[in-house]
């Protein structure tokens, strides 16, 4: 603040007034006409700005909210039917020179409201930007931000950036992915481990070590030209301790206080446990995720409005196609439901997937929109999509189980899908073998290509929205026990001077190419197969560690055989008459081999078989 005082006195004594001396921040920085949101809460921040009265001849001011911190004013203006243009707000104080601040409403892009979000026709490619590709080494370290690049440090910043993603979009599209979920790109000024960017310090600014706001919008534009979708990783539960607002809180209860810091107990079940102790619920919901991530209080209307507007601002500004919401089930559950509902009202065809890291289908279902489980407690999150962590649990266990037991082997998959009746929308479940927080799937499988093929075949052909973690398609490994940095290794070829590049066929090793070619074949087949997007699922109880299911509609059917037995198995096709009725031929979608579907079908050990059925 001392810096701004100096500027104020310098300009004042020169006989003029500098607006920047009084208002340091205005958020949102601008807005749009034609939005569903009928009012806008504008935050003004500056030293003792709360001493001023605010008026406007151009805008209808519905409310001026001042807080116990005189450095803030929250001005709510009516925006219904407002036209694009600049509008003045006057700041007045007796004994002080009055000043005017202009606020801009921009014209909204045609069709913005009805944009189509990601859905089960997509395959999502999850990128950790700092570890994917560094196309602009000049931005690796930035003045004013504490942590500098250090690629030799596992938990340090390695320099990957937005330009690196843009330069490799054709690689991702060629692989068969149609959407990108990037872990957060907003500014994170933590002094250490800031590369993950979940401890954000400015939620209206792309971290300069990744690029600029304009670069992020250009990423979306480049993707849309390729008929791809961009999903932002949005954090509602917490900010970083270095966030400018955390350092000068607008209100004491902007974050949860005990007073001060108390860690979450991470017991998400307390959100709906009918027998819970209130202290346990409070520690889960209000406790901080870590000591460097203050927990935001969404029950404070100022906080909730700020988060709603910030989310909408990014959708509109960057032309986003979806959100993945971090730690969704740690939020104030009524507050996060209002946040979600407001966004879906603004963009009814948008999609939001919440991270609900739980290990029971009923508990995960509780958080999906219109859940019959949530309805028991009259709760509706309005959240369209949740992550299928129980399937993930099955995937990391069952393919290392060569023998089937009552609850082992492929029975794990069958039992998972048998509980689909708990979900109101099974096509809107995110299915995955691994992500940036879990163990690397190829480490869990000890580099076994066949096990990877089994897992990918299931993820790509079952109900829901498939998600692939960057590098899994080339067999990348990493040990969770060695630290998060090890499961977030640099993609080979993303840095100048790398000894080889897995972005090109010629640069991949034979082993990497074996992973890649299978992935590319399967994902590109799925891309145009509606039956795999929204077809019905028919499954059979596994036998001899072999799991068989069908995806079908009135016109098409795909038969999937997951042979998790190390030995080749010969299936008696009479058992599968219900799924095979009317079909006599099956074509392997990976290698093109055709099979007569008369009496038996032989499947090699530890192998998947995906057959497009023909009459």
Question: Which residues, 6+ apart, have CB-to-CB distance to 557 below 8 Å?
Answer: 531, 535, 550, 551, 579, 583, 613
pLDDT tens-digit readout, 65-75: 999 999 999 99
Chosen CATH of 535-614 out of 2.60.40.1180, 3.40.50.300, 1.10.260.40, 3.40.718.10: 2.60.40.1180
In the CATH hierarchy, which top-level class contains the domain 2-106?
mainly beta
> What whole-number distance in Å separates Cα of residue 297 and Cα of residue 339?
12
Dihedral angle computed from the Cα positions of residues 351, 356, 362 and 363, in that order, rounded to the nearest 10 degrees = -140
H/E element, 301: helix 301-318
pLDDT tens-digit readout, 428-471: 999 999 999 999 999 999 999 999 999 999 999 999 999 999 99
Portions of the chain given CATH number 3.20.20.80: 125-235+447-528
Portions of the chain given CATH number 2.60.40.10: 2-106
pLDDT at residue 4 above 70? no
CATH number of 125-235+447-528: 3.20.20.80
Taking residues 275-287, what's their average pLDDT?
97
Conformation bin of residue 455: beta by default, left when phi > 0, alpha when psi is -120 to 50: alpha
Taking residues 277-286, what's their average pLDDT?
96
Phi, psi for residue 185 in degrees, rounded to 5? -115, -5
Report which of 42, 104, 106, 103 is spatially closest to residue 74, judged by C-alpha positions. Answer: 42
355 is catalytic: yes
pLDDT at 323: 98
pLDDT at 13: 36
In this structure, the strands spanning 607-614 and 585-588 are antiparallel
pLDDT at residue 212 above 70? yes
At 241, is the pLDDT very low, low, confident or very high (cuts 50, 70, 90)? very high
Contact 212, 28 (CB under 8 A): no
Peptide bond before 445: cis, by omega within 30 degrees of 0? Answer: no
Contact 611, 586 (CB under 8 A): yes
pLDDT at 15: 35
Contact 307, 346 (CB under 8 A): no
Portions of the chain given CATH number 2.60.40.1180: 535-614
Task: Establish how many alpha carbons lie within 13 A of residue 577's alpha carbon, considering only the half-sphere containing its beta carbon.
Answer: 3
Mean pLDDT of the chain: 95
pLDDT tens-digit readout, 562-582: 999 999 999 999 999 999 999
pLDDT at 95: 73
Per-residue CA distances from 82 to 59, 79, 610 (Å) = 9, 5, 55
pLDDT at 105: 98
DSSP output for 168-228: THHHHHHHT--EEEEPP-EE---SSSGGG--S-SEEEEE-TTT--HHHHHHHHHHHHHTT-
The active-site residue out of 355, 388, 443, 612 is: 355
At 356, is the pLDDT very low, low, confident or very high (cuts 50, 70, 90)? very high
pLDDT tens-digit readout, 85-138: 999 999 998 877 789 999 999 999 999 999 999 999 999 999 999 999 999 999
The active-site residue out of 147, 189, 295, 326 is: 326
Tally of helices (H runs) and strands (E runs) in the chain? 17, 26
pLDDT at residue 84 above 70? yes
326 is catalytic: yes
Specify the range with the lowest mean pLDDT, choosing from 14-23, 300-309, 461-470: 14-23
pLDDT at 6: 36
What tokens does 608 get? Answer: 């998947």
């Amino acid at each position: 603040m001392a810096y701004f005082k100096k500027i104020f006195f310098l300009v004042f004594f020169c006989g003029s007034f500098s607006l920047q001396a009084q208002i340091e921040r205005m958020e949102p920085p601008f807005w749009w006409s034609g939005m569903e949101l009928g009012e806008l809460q504008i935050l003004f921040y500056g030293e003792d700005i709360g001493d001023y009265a605010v008026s406007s001849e151009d805008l209808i001011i519905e409310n001026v909210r001042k807080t116990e911190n005189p450095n803030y004013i929250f001005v709510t203006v009516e925006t219904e039917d407002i036209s694009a243009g600049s509008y003045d707000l006057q700041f007045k104080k007796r004994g002080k020179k009055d000043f005017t601040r202009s606020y801009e409403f921009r014209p909204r892009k045609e069709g913005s409201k009805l944009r189509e979000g990601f859905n089960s026709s997509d395959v999502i490619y999850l990128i950790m930007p700092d570890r994917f590709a560094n196309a602009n080494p000049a931005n690796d370290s930035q003045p004013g931000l504490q942590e500098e690049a250090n690629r030799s440090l596992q938990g340090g910043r390695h320099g990957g950036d937005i330009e690196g993603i843009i330069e490799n979009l054709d690689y991702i599209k060629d692989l068969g992915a149609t959407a990108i979920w990037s872990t957060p790109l907003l500014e994170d000024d933590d002094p250490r481990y800031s590369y993950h960017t979940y401890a954000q310090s400015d939620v209206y600014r792309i971290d300069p070590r990744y690029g600029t706001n304009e670069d992020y919008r250009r990423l979306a534009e480049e993707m849309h030209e390729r008929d791809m979708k961009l999903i932002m990783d949005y954090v509602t539960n917490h900010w970083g301790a270095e966030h400018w607002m955390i350092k000068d809180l607008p209100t004491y209860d902007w974050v949860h206080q005990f007073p001060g810091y108390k860690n979450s107990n991470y017991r998400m079940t307390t959100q709906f446990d009918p027998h819970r102790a209130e202290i346990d619920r409070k520690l889960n919901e209000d406790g901080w995720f870590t000591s460097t991530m203050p927990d935001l209080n969404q029950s404070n209307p100022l906080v909730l409005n700020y988060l709603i507007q910030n989310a909408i601002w990014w959708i509109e500004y960057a032309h986003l196609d979806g959100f993945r919401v971090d730690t969704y089930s740690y939020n104030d559950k009524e507050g996060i439901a209002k946040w979600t509902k407001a966004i879906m009202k603004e963009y009814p065809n948008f999609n939001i997937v919440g991270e609900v890291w739980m290990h029971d289908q009923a508990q995960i279902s509780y958080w999906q929109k219109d859940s019959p489980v949530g309805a028991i407690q009259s709760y509706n999150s309005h959240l369209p999509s949740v992550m299928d962590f129980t399937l993930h649990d099955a995937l990391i266990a069952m393919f290392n189980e060569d023998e089937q037991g009552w609850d082992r082997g492929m029975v794990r998959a069958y039992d998972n899908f048998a509980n689909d009746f708990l979900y109101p929308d099974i096509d809107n479940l995110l299915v995955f073998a691994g992500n940036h927080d879990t163990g690397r799937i190829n480490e869990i499988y000890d580099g076994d290509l066949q096990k990877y093929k089994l897992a990918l075949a299931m993820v790509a052909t079952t109900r829901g929205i498939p998600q692939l973690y960057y590098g899994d398609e080339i067999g990348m490994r990493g040990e969770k026990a060695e630290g998060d940095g090890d499961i977030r290794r640099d993609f080979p070829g993303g840095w100048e001077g790398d000894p080889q590049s897995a972005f090109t066929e010629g640069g991949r090793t034979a082993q990497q190419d074996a992973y890649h070619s299978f992935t590319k074949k399967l994902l590109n087949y799925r891309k145009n197969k509606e039956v795999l997007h929204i077809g019905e699922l028919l499954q059979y109880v596994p036998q001899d560690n072999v799991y068989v299911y069908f995806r079908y509609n009135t016109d098409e059917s795909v038969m999937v055989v997951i042979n998790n037995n190390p030995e080749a198995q010969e299936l008696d096709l009479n058992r599968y008459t219900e799924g095979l009725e009317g079909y006599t031929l099956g074509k392997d979608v990976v290698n093109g081999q055709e099979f007569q579907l008369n009496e038996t079908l032989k499947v090699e050990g530890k192998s998947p078989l995906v057959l497009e059925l023909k009459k």
